Amino acid sequence: MKTAEEFIELLELEQHVEGGYYRSSFKSESDFDEKRSLWTSIYFLLKTGEVSHFHRLTADEMWYFHAGESLTIYMISEDGELTTAQLGLDIANGERPQVLVPKGCIFGSAMNKPGYSLVGCMVSPGFTFEDFELFNQETLLADYPQHEEIIRRLSRSENK
């Protein structure tokens, strides 16, 4: 089995602003509008101790499990409800190889066991950083104090 470092090198992944590593893998040849493709896809990898910090997109994002350890995707809906989804291959224990993150929800992810998790993410309409919003702890705690534990785990303080 490959290591996280081998996947990072072989797939030419680079650090992502939300945490972990990524690389664009595919992009639709059709346009959604003048700024976005119909869809885009990336590889995304987390290593032990890393998380995907809470962020929000203006488009749906489908996650696909590829290799390594399963992970949990944490989603805060527009009405403040926190839900989780398990991305992995242990179907009998509630994991799924595909998980949809609906547009407009705030979400992040963390691995369930040490190691690494290699996933794919497809966004439709296609991803642009103009459609991406990264959250800090202070903003999220002010809006969703009931989710303090996971907010502290999956977001950075604005002072860091």
* pLDDT value for 86: 98
Per-residue model confidence (pLDDT) at position 158:
81
Number of domains in the chain: 1
Is residue 159 in some structural domain? no
CA distance 35 to 16: 21
- For the whole prediction, is pTM greater than 0.75? yes
Domain CATH number, residue 142: 2.60.120.10
**Is residue 160 in a domain?**
no
Q: For the chain, how long is the longest CA-to-CA vector?
A: 44
Contact 69, 115 (CB under 8 A): yes
pLDDT computed for residue 1 by the predictor:
74
Question: Could you say which residues of the chain have pLDDT below 50?
Answer: none
What does the pLDDT read at residue 159? 64
Domain hosting residue 16, numbered range: 4-154
Please give the helix or strand (H or E) that residue 142 lies within, else none.
Answer: helix 137-143
Q: For residue 20, is it within any domain?
A: yes
